[in-house]
Each structure stands twice: as structure tokens, then as C-alpha cells.
A and B are shown apart, each in its own frame.
Chain A
Amino acid sequence: MTGQPGYIGASASITAEDVPALYEGAKFYSPAVGDANRSSITSWLAGLLDRNGPVPLLRVEAVPPETACVSVCVLGSGSAMADLPPAGDEFEVAVRQIERLQRVSFGAVYPLAAATISALVAVVAAAQLRVPLLDADGMGRTFALIHHTAMHLSGVSPTPLAAVGPTGESVLVEVPSGPRADRMLRANVDTVGGWAALAAYPTTAGVLRRAALPGTVSRIANVGRLLLDRTDPDVLVTRLGTITGCRRVARGRIAELEHLSRPSDVTIPAHPSSLVIEETGGLGRQLRIELRSEIVAVFADGALVAGAPDLISLLDVSRGVLATLDSLEPGDLVDVLATPADAVWYSPRGMEMVGMASHGIPLAHPRRR
């Protein structure tokens, strides 16, 4: 991007200088992810952009409707990716496999989720394929399963899809039902190396105009710039609020980390546990934060005040940075931030798919009461 630091708005392209901001912003929308492979992925992408030039970032409406488009993302565990780094061609190979199968030539790439390293690998794929990147994605944050997308809700099939592992092996999946695709892929991810490059949801720009969530790549770059600009936490929360609509639920000190063994839905990779925070100031409430692979609910004195699909994140107040779930310790002072997800996720079908009930919490969402 060529704008000044602090620029807020849609970008026209992504350059090597934008990579750190992209990474930080992508982290905001997926608070559960650690920093394990930060340097390897950012330096890889920055090098690519330096060699191949900036990647154009286009609004979906700016692309002819018949343009074939495909989404990419990383499947599996981020720490596995840190252990077994990409050879470099996995995403390109995955896209090419679908091109061969469908006998099309993709004119644009878009991220399946503009969050985590999946947002960055979409830029990688666009740079390698020398096609533009669409400023849109399927989730607007991260969800656990690949059919948890706005495209799926609009009736776009995730298949045919290709998953290429770091060992060069690949899996091609064609199933009529999106949820089945996820189960078949998950069975193979460990075998191909713990993670895989995924190319999925091949469709046209015309379909994406109604099916994808717009502007989400520009948004993470903007959010990332704010986060990199180390500032007073109160100012940071206010600024984040103007871009993301997030609000501070409460500020408090972590009192307890509870790891209770309880039953959980096996389809969602999760280790249910709770975080108890004593609110400092205000009403002095006791906040209970329910953790899965992400933060799925916030209770204040037992009353549900925020929950999935809201994006709930913790800001380490003393350091002014986002707190990752694996870094929390009793005594930390944190701000609990709740960011509304895209409106599509609050529809009945969206709630059914990614709402709190899907995490085993059968309570009415505070936004729908």
C-alpha cells in the first residue's frame, strides 16, 4: 500500500512495507493464534513482494463478473507450520490443480479468512500467480471449519478443493456437501505434514459480489497499523473502535485460569476452559471468559454480555498489545474487547453454524435478545 501511516480506507495494492501491518491486523481477527511462525512467513512474503512487485488489491466490483476466482488458506496447525515451513510452492500448486481440474485460469485470488496467516498466504499466492488479490474474504475473522463462510451461506460449494502439504503430497476433495469436505480434509491434514495449503471455493467474481464479505483485507491492514503504533491503551481502544466497531466490555485483572475437564463437541477442535477476571473499577463485576479455540463467550456476574460470533479479544493493558490465549497469567491487567462480526453471522443460519450453541453454550445471544 502506498498510503501514509495511519491511513484509513481501502488500499490499491500491497507492498513489502505493508506486511508487518497485515500480520498484526490478521492477528487481531484471530486472537487464539500464537506468534510461532511470524518471522518466517513475513520475511517470505516481503521477499516475494520485493521480487515480484506489489500485488494489486481490487474491490470485487472492480473485477469483471466472469473472472474466475479462488480462495486460499492454511489448513491445520500454525505451530506445525512453524516446525515444517512451506517449501514455497504449496499454494501455487493447489491453485493449479483446481485450474487443471476445472479447465479454467483464475484471474484473482481471495483469502478464505482475512485473519491469521491465511490472510498473508493469499497475498503470497497472488504474488506467485501474478494475479490481483480481491479485497474480500469468506469469514471476516476466523472460524474453525472451512464451510463456516459467507459463500457457503450463499450456496457456493467449497469444492472441488485441493490441499497440498509441505511434503508435496496433495488431496483433492469433491463432495456435494460442504461440512463433509471439512471432515475429509481434517482426516488427511496430519498425514500430509500437520498443515496444508488449501485452495477452495472456485467461483466467479460475479458470485463473490453477493457472496463474499467486502473490504476485509484493507481493514486488517488498517487495524495492523494502529496496533503497531504503540500508544496508550485507552487511545488504542478508541481508535480500534472507529475501524472495527469494537467496544471495551471491561478492564480487569486475571484472577484464575480454570481448566475443567468437561465434555465438548468433537467436531470443534477445542479445550474448554475458563478465565476469571475481576473487573477493576466500574461495577467490580466478576467476568468469566469461556475459551475454546477462540474466546466464545463473556459473562459478567453470570450474565452473558458478549459471545460468538462476536470477535472477543484481550488487550494486555500494561504492554499495550493484544494478548494471545497461550500467554495469559493470573495477575495480568487486560481489557476485554468485543468486536461485532459481519451481520451475516447474526442471521439464524449464521448463528446456527458459528454461534454459541455450536460451542455448547445454549444461551440466547445478547445481540438477539
Chain B
Amino acid sequence: MRRSSTLPITLGELARVQPLAAAEPHLADPSRTVEQVVLAETFDRLRRCTPHVLVVLHNEAATGGWSLAAALHLAWERNLSAVVVSRSVAGGSSVALAERLHMSLILIDDDPVDVALQLAGQVSAPAAARALRQARLAELLAEQTGIRGVLGVLNRELQQVPVALMIGGVVIAGQSAALTERPQARRIEVEVHAPGERSAARLVAAVPVSGPASVEQVESLLRLARPSLQAAWAQSRLDAATRAAHEQAAFGLLRRLPSAPPPSGEQAGIEVPAWTSELGWQVGEANRAVWLAPLRPSGEPPPEITYLIRASWQRGHSTWPLVAEGDGWISWHSGADPDDVVALRRALAGFRDSAVAHRLVIGVGRAHAGVAGLMRSVAEARLAAHVAREGGPGAVQWFDQVGANAALAWLPTTEIAQVADLCLEELMAAKDRAALVQTVLAVLDAGGSLSQASQHLGVHRNTVLGRLARARQLGLTYDEPGQRLALHVLSYALTALWSDTAAD
């Protein structure tokens, strides 16, 4: 249904422009339309009102609490849109009665006659009132300096229309309800360009078809928000870039500390430099490092991603550092009790959705004291993160649970696969190579036990035997003692590589 601009204005829209913007609204239903404004001096006038009338009370009809109560009852009987009355007449009980009757009540400070005249003008020219509203919204938006502030204004002003700001598939700010598909809502999107003319983000809104706001109106309001968003975006980018550089430099300095010779031959632990606290870092106690790494490393991540990761990682834990290093990010938690991982577990659980969205895996080191301990924990976390890659996006691996298997994570599987291409040409050409290699690996893992291997693979023992025979024909001579280690490693690398590729 297309809504024209001459459609009757709604209570919600009226409440957003003067004179009612300065009033105290108690709106039972902001989407109620207002077709006419009546200035009621007497109760008789109220009795003659037709439905969808907004009534402004004055004089006899507004002489105290009882008169407002009686007027609310009449308004309810007559199915009026709202009752507007001077604040001096209404008390808390009048508001309670209005709520009980589900009748909108608006309390004003200005002269009722003036208000009624202005409202009558607005109701007779809805388009003009809507233009006023846009102007007011533009002012509100211009006052905002942050992305959250801009989205806050949009969501507050566009009642019942959730608005969200998205980068890629991730909601940066606003209400994620804007993304959920609903039958009675139309989704509209407005591109927000970053400096440099490239599309950086999208404003998404879900406009209820039967709601008070028309699609065109919402769209124009979203367009109004773009300059403020761009300014806020540039500002935060600037801040984030400065901070990221600062943290990166500081962490580099911290890392060099353990290798530097201790001053005056002291063997006690390294002193924590004072500048770490300027960054809000805690290093002095038991440190447990976390390594956030991409599932598929592809060089240094772009600063935008760092910005996003930082935003979601630090939500609720603003003092935790996030240092971009290599192809991942380091963070750590510092506390007096090395075994206390409650906060960390909570943070990891909260970060899980973002980790999946950005295809990250997470490694957690053990808790070690001091700067040197931190560096050790960082190394452990990094190792654990490599192991975590087997678990797919969002996987978390604690170093405590890794053990010697971590060595396997370091295998250069791609290079080993190249060796296979050269040495086992026939095998690599076979269609069923994956099943063959997987079977050989299972048998080797089981120490040569065919029954254990068949159980692990979930196939019959004879199948295992058949595959082994075919593998041997193709050059995978797994049972020659001199080649067993090499072929075991090769099988592991190929299986890991193929299962990764299949997972993609």
C-alpha cells in the first residue's frame, strides 16, 4: 500500500513537532490518525466530537482533576484520538486513568487556544508538518558526534521502525530487529559512503506496512542521517587508528623488555613500565593471553577489520587491550587469581557471534605472572589458535588442553601436499584418493589395528583391507618401516588440507 503525503497525520508525528514536541505526551497509540482538532470549552462540545478528533480542553472543561477525568471518559466513549490539556490540571492519577482507558493524554504548558490553533494548521496540512519534523530531526542529527548517537536519534524518532547500521553482514549500531524478515514490514536500505566515495556501510530500516511512517518518509530521514554518520565514522576511524598505532608500538616495546639485560644485575622479574597504565593495560599480575586469528590467514588484516574486531571484543571490557600483530590480534586478561577465568569465558561467549561472522578462531594461553609471563602466554595462545583452526570459525582452544599435538598444527600442510604431488603421482591422480589417504591415516593412528581403524571410519573391516591394498598399489606403502613416519605425516597433511578445503 502506497501512502501519499496528504494522508492524515498521526499522533506520533504530531508529538515530534512543535508545539507538542515541548509537551509531555502519554501516547496510548502513536499510530492513531488525527483528522481534526477541536478546542473544547464545555462538556457539551466534547459530546459532539466525532471519532479521530484530537481535543484540546480549556476553560470550563479544564477546571481540575475531575473535569479531566470526565473528559477522558467522554473521549474514550467518542473514540477520540487524544486529549490535550494544560499541565496544571493533570496529576499523576489523570495519567493513570488515561493509561487505564488506553486514551492518549498530552500535557502542555502553553496556552491551550494557541496550541489548538497551531495543531489545527498542522492537521490540515500534513505535508508541512512532516517537513517541520524533518527539519527538527536534521537539527538533532547534527548535534550527534558518534555513530551510536546518530542511530539512537533515528531509533527514537522513528518509533516502531527499527534502524540498524551494517558493515558487511555485521550490525555495528542500532537495532538488529531491522534485519529480521517480517511479513508486515518493508525493508529499506540507504548506502553510507566513507570518505573516498566507496560504500562503507548501509543503513537498514524495517518499516511496518501499517505503521505510522511511510516508506518514502523513512527513507528521506535515513538520507538526512548520512552526513552525521560519515562525520562520526571518520572521527572514530581517526581515533581508532591513533589508538591502534599507539598500542602496537607499546606492545612492541613490552615484548623487547624480557630480552633486554636486567639493570644492575638484578635477577628479580622485570618491572612493569608505568606507561602501560596510561593505555589502561594491566600487566603486573597473572596474565592470560588470547590470540584472535583468522581461520585462513592472508597477511595483515585491513584497519577496518581491526576496528570492527576491537569494537566487538572490547564491548563491556573496555580496559582489555587489542593489539594487531601479524595476521591476528593479541589481547590479555590480568588478574590476581591465575585460575579465575570467569570474566574471560564470559568475554569469549559474548564474542562468539562476531568470531563466526568474521571467520576467526581463538587461542587462549595459560596464566603467567609479569611481563615475561605475558609473552609466554602470548606464544601459547598463538599455538592454541593454530590448533583451533581444525574446529572451524568461532572455535576456541585453550593451551592447557593442547599438549604435544600442537606440533602438528605447525606442519606446513600446503608444502607437504606439494611433496605428495611429486612423490605419489599415481595416488594424487586417483578419484578416491581422499578415502584412501584417510583410511591409511586411520590405520597408522590405530597402530596398525584394522578393526580399530574400521570402527573409527565407520566402514567394514574388508573395506579397510581393500582400500589399503589399493593404496599400496598406488605407491602409499604404509607398512614399510623406513617410510612409515614420512607417510604418516604426509597422510595427516593431506587429510587436514582436504578437510579444510571441503569445509570452505
Contact = CB atoms under 8 A, between A and B. Distances in A.
A302 B89 CA distance: 14
Nearest to A255: B93
Given A255-B93, A286-B93, A301-B100, A262 B73 contact: no
Given A302-B76, A304-B70, A286 B97 contact: yes
B64 A301 contact: no
Contacts of A362: 42-43, 60
B211 interface: no
Given A286-B97, A301-B97, A302-B76, A363 B63 contact: no
Nearest to A302: B73
Nearest to B71: A302
A94 B172 CA distance: 89
A307 to B, nearest CB: 10
Interface in B96-130: 96-97, 100-101
Contact size range, A: 20 to 34
Interface residues of B, number: 24
B257 interface: no
A101 interface: no
A260 interface: yes
Contact of A260 (B71, B91, B96): B91
A19 interface: no
Interface string A271-309: 010101000000000101010000001010111100000
Contacts of A302: 69-74, 76, 97, 101
Contacts of B74: 302
Contact of B101 (A299, A301, A360, A361): A301
Interface of A, helix, strand, loop or mixed by DSSP: strand
B93 A288 contact: yes
Contacts of B88: 260
A263 interface: yes
B498 interface: no
Contacts of B169: none
Nearest to A303: B73
Which of B60, B65, B88 gathers the greatest number of chain A CB atoms within 10 Å?
B65
B96 to A, nearest CB: 6
A145 to B, nearest CB: 21
Contacts of A262: 63-64
Interface in A60-92: none
Contacts of B73: 299, 301-303
Contacts of B69: 286, 288, 299, 301-302
Interface of A: 255-256, 258, 260, 262-263, 272, 274, 276, 286, 288, 290, 297, 299, 301-304, 360-363
12 contacts: A255-B93, A256-B91, A256-B92, A260-B64, A260-B89, A272-B64, A288-B65, A288-B66, A302-B70, A302-B72, A360-B63, A362-B43
Given A258-B91, A260-B88, A263-B63, 7 more contacts: A260-B65, A262-B64, A286-B97, A288-B97, A302-B72, A362-B42, A362-B43
